[in-house]
Amino acid sequence: MQQTIAVLDFGSQYTQVIARRIRECQVYSKIYHYTTTPAQLQADGVVGIILSGGPSSVFAKTAPIPDRGIFKLGVPVLGICYGIQLFGHLLGGKAAKSDHREYGNGILTIKKPGRLFAGLPKKIRVWNSHGDKVIALPPGFQAIGTTENSPYAAIEDRKRNLYGIQFHPEVFHTEHGVEVIRNFLVGVCGAKQDWTTKDFIAHAVENIRTTVGQSRVILGLSGGVDSSVAAALIHKAIGKQLTCVFVDNGLLRKGEREAVVELYGKHFHIDLRVVDAAKLFLRRLKGVSDPEKKRKIIGLTFVEVFEKSLKSIGHADYLAQGTLYPDVIESVAIGNNPAALIKSHHNVGGLPERMKLKLLEPLRELFKDEVRRVGSALGLPKEVVWRQPFPGPGLGVRVLGEVSAEKLEILRNADAILQEEMMACGRYWKVWQSFCVFLPVKSVGVVGDERNYAWVIAVRVVESIDAMTADWARLPHELLQKISSRITNEVRGVSRVVLDISSKPPATIEWE
Spatial distance between the Cα atoms of 87 and 479, rounded to a whole number of angstroms: 61
Segment near ligand XMP (CB under 6 A), from 115-123, 179-187, 249-257, 501-509? 501-509
Total of chain residues touching ligand XMP, rule CB under 6 A: 11
By the 10 Å C-beta count (0-12 exposed, 13-18 middle, 19+ buried), 450 is classed as exposed
Spatial distance between the Cα atoms of 454 and 438, rounded to a whole number of angstroms: 12
Please give the residues from 223 up to 262 whose contact with ligand XMP meets the rule CB under 6 A: none
Which listed residue (89, 130, 168, 235) is catalytic?
Answer: 168
Spatial distance between the Cα atoms of 381 and 475, rounded to a whole number of angstroms: 26
Exposure string for 329-342, b = 16+ CB within 10 A, e = fewer: ebbbebeeeeeeee
Q: Note whether 220 binds ligand XMP by CB under 6 A.
A: no
Rounded to the nearest whole angstrom, what is the least distance from the CB of residue 404 to ligand XMP in the complex?
A: 20
Q: Note whether 504 binds ligand XMP by CB under 6 A.
A: yes
Segment near ligand XMP (CB under 6 A), from 106-114, 347-355, 447-455, 503-511? 503-511
189 is catalytic: no
Rounded to the nearest whole angstrom, what is the least distance from the CB of residue 225 to ligand XMP in the complex?
A: 12
* For ligand XMP, the closer CB: 377 or 431: 431
170 is catalytic: yes
Rounded to the nearest whole angstrom, what is the least distance from the CB of residue 298 to ligand XMP in the complex?
A: 8
Q: Note whether 322 binds ligand XMP by CB under 6 A.
A: no
Q: Note whether 323 binds ligand XMP by CB under 6 A.
A: no
Rounded to the nearest whole angstrom, what is the least distance from the CB of residue 509 to ligand XMP in the complex?
A: 3
For the chain, what is the radius of gyration of the CA atoms? 27
Please give the residues from 365 up to 424 whose contact with ligand XMP meets the rule CB under 6 A: 389, 391-393
Q: Note whether 469 binds ligand XMP by CB under 6 A.
A: no
Which listed residue (25, 89, 102, 170) is catalytic?
Answer: 170
Q: Note whether 467 binds ligand XMP by CB under 6 A.
A: yes
By the 10 Å C-beta count (0-12 exposed, 13-18 middle, 19+ buried), 359 is classed as middle
Q: Note whether 509 binds ligand XMP by CB under 6 A.
A: yes
Rounded to the nearest whole angstrom, what is the least distance from the CB of residue 469 to ligand XMP in the complex?
A: 9
Nearest to 229 by CA among 384, 383, 348: 384
Helix (H, G, I), strand (E, B) or coil at 157: strand
Spatial distance between the Cα atoms of 419 and 413, rounded to a whole number of angstroms: 10
> Taking the CA of residue 126 as centre, how many other CA atoms within 13 Å lie in the half-sphere pointing to its CB?
32
Which listed residue (25, 81, 189, 244) is catalytic?
Answer: 81
Residue from 147, 150, 227, 433 touching ligand XMP (CB under 6 A): that is 433
Write the CB contacts of 71 (distance below 8 Å, at least 6 apart in sequence).
77, 90, 91, 160, 162
Backbone torsions φ then ψ of 475, nearest 5 degrees: -90, 150
Nearest to 264 by CA among 272, 256, 276: 272
Rounded to the nearest whole angstrom, what is the least distance from the CB of residue 54 to ligand XMP in the complex?
A: 32
* For ligand XMP, the closer CB: 105 or 508: 508
* For ligand XMP, the closer CB: 140 or 392: 392
Spatial distance between the Cα atoms of 93 and 95, rounded to a whole number of angstroms: 7
* For ligand XMP, the closer CB: 144 or 470: 470
* For ligand XMP, the closer CB: 132 or 226: 226
Nearest to 423 by CA among 383, 391, 474, 462: 383
Q: Cβ atoms within 10 A of the Cβ of 274, count?
A: 18
Spatial distance between the Cα atoms of 71 and 161, rounded to a whole number of angstroms: 9
100 is catalytic: no
Q: Note whether 30 binds ligand XMP by CB under 6 A.
A: no
Rounded to the nearest whole angstrom, what is the least distance from the CB of residue 277 to ligand XMP in the complex?
A: 18
Q: Annotated active-site positions, please?
A: 81, 168, 170
Binding residues vs ligand XMP (CB under 6 A): 295, 389, 391-393, 433, 467, 504, 508-510
